[in-house]
Amino acid sequence: MNTITAEVPFSKDELRYRLIEPNVISSEECATLISLLEKYGKVGDGYNGDAHPHTPNETFGGYSLSGHGPHQHEPEHILCLQVMNRIRLQTKKHFKLPFLWLDYGHLVFLSLIHI
């Protein structure tokens, strides 16, 4: 597995409310999820159709996992659900929660606009 290193821009106090976990998915899983976004992702999906919900220099979009869509039996969709459940379980364990339900899933992509 390739290792990616990134600087975490949060103070220790801010990190109390966030979970930053390395190696959550493999390079192969990442490539599969990127393929899913390339095939079925929609610009503005999950942001009420707004492609630039935060700044004009970023384009957001995604793929919603409603479970009832036409792609729900495709391997990429199933992998996305498996990864989300893995993340749910890690989050539950990290924050010592008695339960954590996965009610809605949305795979997000972000593209930076180079000026």
What's the pTM value of the predicted model, to 2 decimals?
Answer: 0.73
Structural domain of 40 = 30-112
Strands, E assignment, 4-115: 42-43, 58-64, 106-112
Identify the segments of the chain with pLDDT beneath 50: 1
How buried is residue 80: exposed, middle or buried, by Cβ count under 10 Å (0-12/13-18/19+)?
Answer: buried
Does residue 18 sit within a domain?
A: no
pLDDT of residue 3: 56
- Cα separations in angstroms, 53 against 2, 10, 50, 61: 31, 22, 6, 10
Is the residue at 50 inside a domain? Answer: yes
- Number of independent structural domains in the chain: 1
pLDDT score at 29: 93
Q: Which residues pair with 63 in a beta bridge?
A: 107
Model pLDDT for residues 75-108, shown as the tens digit of each residue = 888 999 999 999 999 999 988 999 999 887 888 8
Any domain includes 2: no
Model pLDDT, residue 7: 65
